[in-house]
Amino acid sequence: SVNPDLASERQTASFSVEKLTAWLDGGAERTQLRRAVVEAIERDPVFSRENQYFQSQNESYEAAVRKAVHLQKKMHEMGWTDDGPEFKYIYRALSGDLAFLLHRIFIRSISVLGSDKQIAKWIPLATQYQLIGSYAQTELGHGTYLQGLETTAVFDITTQEFVLNTPNISAMKWWPGDMGRSATHTVVFAQLYINGKCYGLHPFIVQIRSLQDHSLCPGITAGDIGPKMNFEHIDNGYLMLQNVRVPRENMLSKFCEVQPDGTYVRRGSQKINYFTMTTVRISLISDEVVIPLMKACTIAIRYSVVRRQSKLKPREQEAKILDYQTQQEKLLPQLAAAYAFYFISDYLQELFNRGYREIQRKNFDMLPELHAFSSGFKAMVTQYSTSAVQICLQACGGHGYSLLSGLPSLYTKIFASCIYEGENTILLLQTARFLIKCFMAASTGQSVPPSVTYLAAVTPEKCPAKNKLDFLSPDIYTEAYQHMAARLISSTAAKLQDLIQSGVKKHDAWNQCTVQLAQAAKAHCHYITVKNFAETVEKLETQPGIQKIMKHLCDLFALHGIFSNAGVFLHDGYISGAQMDMVTASYLDLLAVIRKDAVPLVDAFDFTDKTLNSALGSYDGQVYQRLYEWAQKSPTNKQMSPAYERYLKPLLHKTLSKL
């Protein structure tokens, strides 16, 4: 039975939860398909996550391999394909706790970087799992700066082979997933040398383990890098190469080739390489960031209407903690952000699709914009969402800190998204470089991509809002964000120019502006997110119930951003102190309005209990019962600890001195 404190929240929804779910899914048929996939996965005991929070690293790895292998069978049975619409639902249902994810990258990199002959040879082997692939780029001493990688591949003309080596410890490959214990093959990125001349980074297919008995191949040292904050199910690995020889044909050669006589031939544009990174960054926003954030909101908000603590009014029952303004102010902006980022992820996907169509027509004009957007949004959304999940966790107090709440694992996983696929600060600076370029171009009247024309737009010098209700107008707040982003970019560009004109060298000047450049890039992404949210709400006119609540969330997201970053809006007087008080008043008012729909708004995400895997977040709200039941299953309760006989008993029985 549903806890009455949670049930009552569902009776007063201002909109149809089912309709919102269908809209988020992209139509009722999609919802149906998603539910069917999720059900098929959850009905299968092999995919159970029941013991997830009690597993050692070894056990997590075994479970992930078991699931990945079983999934092959399941997909065949169900008629699901790797590139079908089902895969993202499968991934959602399994919460990504699956091995062989790097095997997919192995396949993708051969498809993109390999010659037709290489594709014909390797892709069938990989898709039929006659080998297990990985992707070895990052080194112990080198990450985002790829040019610094040290692994070498020297062409030996006499044997027509490349000889791969790890010249010193910092060149050891470190972190690649699926490589610590699973992979038989990997794509190794190494500096290519021919006749003593370095030709830069190239990818080589290298076998690392025997297909017969999985023993390491000659010259290979490999293993697992040990415990991490999360991703214990993934065997992130290390790899050292000592005179490992691979045939000339193993260098992926769509864009460049070493001919038998040692001649190096480059063909086509290498720019397209960036496009792969762009794809990965955009797809991780939805799968690895927005979904975990939605889950965290679901758990924290459901718990906050079940948990009662202290009294709001004397002589009444203890209040639901979500009735406290401070709790609303913690959780509801994160809920609004989950929606905002869900929509921006769609926006980026569309931008990407448009770019992809252009690229197929050999038009590469959109590449810089796509690269800048995928970098900046990856950084902004991962950082924001990580802090959002942290707030959700802390808002659940002590019970949030228990792994059984599900929140710690969501948190430690989303935390990693700030680091992998490009370190966030470096990414923001890449976006900033693009913005500064566009600003310079726009100010001299040159054409720039439509998404950044605002940099040259003329906006009023003062926000025209006269009272707190004016700040519920999307025009008012979108313009404020636009003004603020443009100001941060232009003022940093000015500082940069001043420094250079005063004689500071270009690279030093750039370094001295990077704190502000990163801030400006974030401001740009924040502005686009607000603008896109407002436009999304506008398009909802056929569904007034949903439109109304989405409008509230959009307002909340925008005003929360102004309230929390007041300095950048007040700085040049665009928003005055008195107007900031209006922002604050409208912002706090909205909390009480949205609070009424908080539970329906998370119900609409439509996560099953098994997907949430949380003692605090289940649909029925039986929080305390579930915490108690789940704790019983903990290995800490399975038997009396040997610590009793060894230490406690002698201590209590005073035989300690005999120890």
Site for a copy of itself in 392-421 (CB under 8 A): 394, 397-398, 400-404, 408, 412, 415-416, 418-420
Per rule CB under 8 A, count of chain residues that contact a copy of itself = 129
Which has the closest alpha carbon to 299: 7, 598, 634? 598
Give the single-character DSSP code of 341: H
CA-wise closest residue to 68 among 50, 90, 42: 90
Residue 309 makes contact with a copy of itself by CB under 8 A: yes
Q: Is 504 in the site for a copy of itself (CB under 8 A)?
A: no
Could you give the C-alpha distances from 146 to 74, 137, 227, 585, 622, in angstroms and in order?
38, 8, 25, 49, 50
- Cβ-count burial of 217 within 10 angstroms (0-12 exposed, 13-18 middle, 19+ buried)? middle
Nearer to a copy of itself, 92 or 330 (CB): 330
CB of 634 to a copy of itself, least distance (A): 4
Helix (H) or strand (E) holding 164: strand 161-165
Mark the segment that binds a copy of itself (CB under 8 A) among 80-88, 356-364, 476-484, 645-653. 645-653
Indicate whether 28 belongs to the interface with a copy of itself (CB under 8 A): no
Spot the catalytic one: 139, 288, 421, 479: 421
* 436 touching a copy of itself, by CB under 8 A: no
Minimum CB–partner distance for residue 226 and a copy of itself (Å) = 4
Nearer to a copy of itself, 355 or 561 (CB): 561
Segment contacting a copy of itself by CB under 8 A, of 276-284, 335-343, 455-463, 638-646: 638-646
Cβ contact 177:259 at 8 Å: no
Partners of 193 in the β-ladder: 154, 198
Q: Which of residues 156-185 bind a copy of itself (CB under 8 A)?
A: 169-170, 172, 174-175, 180-182, 184
Q: Tell me the longest C-alpha to C-alpha distance in the chain.
A: 91
Eight-class DSSP state of 482: H
User: 440-499: which residues touch a copy of itself (CB under 8 A)?
Assistant: none
CA–CA separation, 119 and 109 (whole Å): 10
Distance from C-alpha of 402 to C-alpha of 390, rounded to nearest angstrom? 13
Site for a copy of itself in 550-579 (CB under 8 A): 565-573, 577
| Out of 42, 423, 470, 620, the residue judged to bind a copy of itself by CB under 8 A | 423
Among the listed residues 512, 543, 545, 608, the single contact to a copy of itself using CB under 8 A: 512
Beta bridge partners of 239: 173, 222
621 is in an annotated binding site: no
421 is catalytic: yes
Query: Site for a copy of itself (CB under 8 A): which residue of 72, 127, 242, 443?
Result: 72
Residue 653 exposed, middle or buried by CB count within 10 Å (0-12, 13-18, 19+): exposed
What is the identity of the amino acid at 460? P
Q: Which stretch binds a copy of itself (CB under 8 A): 16-24, 55-63, 81-89, 254-262?
A: 55-63
Is the CB of 155 or the CB of 510 nearer to a copy of itself?
510
Q: Give CA–CA dist 507/520, Å, rounded.
A: 18
Listed residue (291, 504, 489) closest to 381, CA to CA = 291
Stretch that binds a copy of itself, among 123-131, 248-256, 364-372, 521-529 (CB under 8 A): 123-131
Comparing CB distances to a copy of itself, the nearer of 24 and 289 is 289
Token pair of 446, please?
């040159």
| DSSP category for residue 317 | P
Residue type, 446: Q
Q: Are 179 and 136 a contacting pair, CB within 8 Å?
A: yes
Give the nearer residue to a copy of itself in terms of CB position, either 151 or 532. 151
Is 200 known to sit in a ligand binding site? no
Calpha distance 623→615 (Å, rounded): 6
Sites for a copy of itself among residues 595-634 (CB under 8 A): 624-625, 627-628, 630-634
Kindly indicate which of the ranges 35-43, 316-324, 478-486, 521-529 contains the residues binding a copy of itself, using the contact rule CB under 8 A.
316-324
CB 179 within 8 A of CB 237: yes
Q: What is the DSSP string of 238-274?
A: EEEESSEEEEGGGB--SSEEE-TTS-EEE-S-STHHH
260 binds a copy of itself (CB under 8 A): no
Q: Does 336 bind a copy of itself (CB under 8 A)?
A: no
Q: Which residue in 10, 30, 35, 66 binds a copy of itself (CB under 8 A)?
A: 66
Tally of residues, the chain: 659
Asked if 502 interacts with a copy of itself (CB under 8 A), we say no
> Least distance in Å: CB of 444 to a copy of itself?
25
Is the four-CA dihedral 289, 292, 298, 299 of positive or negative sign?
A: negative
**202-241 positions binding a copy of itself, by CB under 8 A:** 211, 214, 223-229, 235, 238
Give yes or no for residue 523 binding a copy of itself (CB under 8 A). no
Among 267, 515, 538, 609, binds a copy of itself (CB under 8 A): 515
3-state secondary structure (DSSP) of residue 156: strand
**Which amino acid belongs to residue 457?**
A
Options 94, 132, 296, 485; binder of a copy of itself; rule CB under 8 A: 132
Told to check if 429 binds a copy of itself by CB under 8 A, we report yes
Min separation Cβ 177 and a copy of itself, Å: 12
Active-site annotation, residues: 421
Binding-site residue positions for FAD: 138, 177
